């Protein structure tokens, strides 16, 4: 897979818009992600925080299949840096 470039959260469509180095684009449906992975208000709040503050990390978690593990560690902004 090509390198993922900085992403942005589009509040109008509720999607993270991701671009790759080769020009490929991808839109991640955030409602579908929340429906799949968040079971508690704290998890939903964590997903919202990631969307607004770290959309690149949000996309990396979704595309890498690591969102469930991230949320299972407990909601702590910045845990990805550990």
**pLDDT band at residue 82, thresholds of 50, 70 and 90?**
very low
pLDDT in tens, 2-46: 899 999 999 999 999 999 999 999 999 999 999 998 888 989 999
* 66 or 38, greater pLDDT: 66
- pTM (predicted TM-score): 0.84
Q: How does DSSP assign 16-58, residue by residue?
A: EEEEBTTS-EEEEEHHHHHHHH--SHHHHHHHHHHHHH-HHHH
Displacement of CA 2 from its chain's centroid (Å): 18
Strand order in the sheet with 15-19: 8-10, 15-19, 25-29
The CA distance from 42 to 11, in Å, is 20
């Amino acid at each position: 897979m090509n390198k993922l470039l900085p992403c942005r959260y589009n509040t109008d469509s509720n999607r993270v818009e991701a671009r790759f180095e080769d020009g490929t684009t991808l839109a991640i449906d955030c409602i579908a992600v929340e429906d799949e992975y968040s079971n508690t208000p704290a998890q939903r709040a964590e997903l919202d925080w990631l969307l607004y503050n770290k959309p690149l990390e949000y996309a990396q978690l979704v595309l890498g299949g690591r969102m469930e593990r991230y949320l299972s560690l407990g909601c702590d902004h910045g845990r990805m840096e550990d």
